[in-house]
């Protein structure tokens, strides 16, 4: 026997990164126009015209009528009590913080994914969703912090190697020069911690290499602290030879594996 669909609506929240593809496994009807970049698409099935009008009205109020593309259908669905009212609570001004995102409501299962500018925004949205629903709803928060800050750190390092004296945790002049640039970049990373990860090649005992990579990461943190970066903001770890990026069989490959990475903590 055919079971009624529980899917009620899918809202795609768009912004800086453009439009994400609909998550529904159904092709658009022939008369449906293609979304413009930055438009909000709402699609899925609702039980009646009143529910459809309420959801569209809330979205248009929030984003503007010309920014909402209606792909909702009316059909047989099995929904929890006051489902439409709860969904309207989810469509809050905080959703405008989300770019490249999807809000999917399937009965009493809610999933949200996309990018926000910082961890504070991610927690703010998650808290609002949790308090706007009753306990019968399950929420999957897939929001992530934008990769822009990580890209900035990667661009500052620009595939260069922070050098140390051979077999030691003492920075060379060229190494400190790169760290001076990294310190300036780290000042722009707000409200997040950054992990400094040390790596080595595979020459010598693994235990010694792990200890050396940890010591070098700590030396980087100490140097950055001297440049005004709070030590509380910087975490350190030593991976030794365990995560090579090149073949240790050549001198060039070993040189590339002896490196320091910077990772924005999510």
Q: How far apart are CA 16 and CA 69, in angstroms?
A: 18
Of the candidates 145, 170, 188, which is a domain's last residue? 145
What number is the average pLDDT over the span 89-98? Answer: 86
Q: What is the reported pLDDT for 216?
A: 96
Query: pLDDT per residue over 110-159, tens digit each?
Result: 888 888 877 778 888 888 988 899 999 999 988 887 778 888 898 999 88
| Distance between start and end Cα atoms, the chain | 45
pTM of the model: 0.51
Q: How far apart are CA 50 and CA 13, in angstroms?
A: 22
257 domain residue, yes or no: yes
Of the candidates 113, 145, 177, which is a domain's last residue? 145
Cβ count within 10 A of residue 98:
23
Phi, psi for 262 (deg, rounded to 5): -120, 125
For 105, the token pair is: 């409501």
89 domain residue, yes or no: yes
Query: pLDDT confidence of 31, banded at 50, 70, 90?
Result: very low
Question: Domain of 166: which CATH number?
Answer: 3.30.1330.60
Q: What is the reported pLDDT for 114?
A: 84
């Amino acid at each position: 026997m055919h079971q009624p669909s529980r899917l009620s609506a899918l809202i795609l929240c768009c912004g800086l990164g453009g439009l994400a593809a609909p998550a529904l496994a159904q092709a658009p009807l022939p008369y449906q126009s293609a979304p413009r970049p930055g438009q909000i698409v709402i699609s899925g099935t609702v039980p009646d015209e009143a529910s459809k009008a309420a959801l569209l009205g809330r979205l248009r109020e929030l984003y503007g009528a010309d920014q909402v593309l209606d792909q909702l259908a009316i059909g047989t669905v099995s929904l929890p009590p006051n489902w439409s009212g709860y969904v309207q609570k989810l469509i809050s001004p905080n959703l405008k913080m989300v770019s490249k995102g999807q809000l999917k409501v399937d009965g009493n299962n809610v999933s949200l994914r996309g990018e926000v500018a910082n961890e504070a925004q991610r927690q703010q949205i998650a808290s609002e969703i949790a308090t706007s629903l009753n306990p019968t709803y399950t929420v999957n928060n897939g929001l992530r912090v934008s990769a822009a800050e990580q890209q900035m750190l990667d661009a500052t390092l620009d595939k260069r190697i922070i050098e140390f004296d051979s077999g030691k945790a003492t920075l060379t002049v060229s190494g400190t020069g790169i760290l001076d640039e990294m310190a300036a970049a780290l000042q722009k990373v707000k409200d997040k911690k950054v992990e400094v990860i040390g790596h080595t090649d595979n020459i010598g005992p693994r235990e010694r290499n792990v200890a050396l990579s940890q010591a070098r990461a700590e030396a980087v943190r100490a140097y950055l602290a001297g440049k005004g970066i709070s030590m509380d903001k910087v975490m350190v770890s030593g991976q030794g030879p365990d995560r090579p990026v090149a073949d240790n069989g050549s001198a060039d490959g070993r040189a590339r594996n002896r490196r320091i990475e910077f990772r924005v903590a999510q």
